[in-house]
A and B are shown apart, each in its own frame.
Chain A
């Protein structure tokens, strides 16, 4: 995982903590983003798509 994904506060990212009430949900959800990262789509393209989607939804995430 690129270092930029590690939050400076040292804890898990908020989006992960948001799922923490259900560890099984956590285990089922994040492998999907892992699988997407492993598809060979270049990292800049991945982040461009993510950023544009967030902007379209007016979300900081």
Chain B
């Protein structure tokens, strides 16, 4: 929140975000915060109305696309931070954030529930059938270059395993279209890596050093563990990007 404090020119917005007090935010900030919260906690529930709320606050279509990209990217960074156990680098006059490790994940809809990605109608109203990638340009190029490396590299984990891990992350995001594009689902009992992918996708705040140790015991070396983390975190980001963009 320190960057937000500096960027917004004061502590008020950071304190509101820290405490989850949406009412203390400006209408524009509130619309963006709702977009971020919904896309993060229940990406399948983002609708065109969620997006229109932001547009009504003076953001244009390009800004909304960027906003969805930022939320998606931070669904990557937060998972890498939680899985790898990095520590906070910065000093701040703000109160320290105390993560609620007991937070319960929003129950995932089962496959029968209409999703944004299939263009169905949900209880929240009609949802869009728009594109699942950013408009052509530097952001799209960078995202696709990143994705190609994480899904189409043979070392230090193989392509089949990458796609299985990514598929779990897509399923946990209720991104059925994305899941199908990644190939068939894992069969049989969860392997340690699949269990890791499921936990990191659904409850990243619950990650502990023991989760990494489980992978080591299963034979994963540190470079392979980094790729497991990155593939899973990246697919969580990509599914949120896709569902957010498709809802426009």
Chain A residues engaging chain B, CB cutoff 8 angstroms? 2, 4-5, 7-9, 13-15, 17-19, 21-22, 24-25, 28-29, 31-36, 38-41, 43-61
Return chain A residues, CB-CB under 8 Å to B59.
45
Cross-chain contact of B63 among A4, A9, A13, A45 (Cβ < 8 A): A45
B89 in the interface (beta carbon within 8 A): yes
Nearest CB of chain B from residue A25's CB, rounded to whole Å: 6
Question: In the complex, which of the residues B39, B78, B103 contacts A61, with contact meaning CB atoms closer than 8 Å?
Answer: B78
Nearest Cβ on chain A to B86's Cβ, whole angstroms = 4
* Contact pick for A18, options B7, B75, B86, B100, CB 8 Å: B86
CB nearest neighbor in B for A56: B40
The answer for the CA separation of A46 and B65 in the assembled complex, in Å, is 12
Bound-state Cα–Cα, A49 to B7, Å:
12
Q: Which residues of B contact A (CB under 8 A)?
A: 1-4, 6-9, 13-14, 17-18, 20, 28-29, 32-33, 35-37, 39-41, 59, 62-63, 65-67, 69-71, 73-82, 84, 86-91, 97, 99-101, 103, 138-139, 141-143, 145-146, 149-150, 204-205, 222-223, 226-227, 230
Q: Is the CB of A36 within 8 A of B69?
A: yes
Bound-state CA distance A19–B231 (Å) is 12
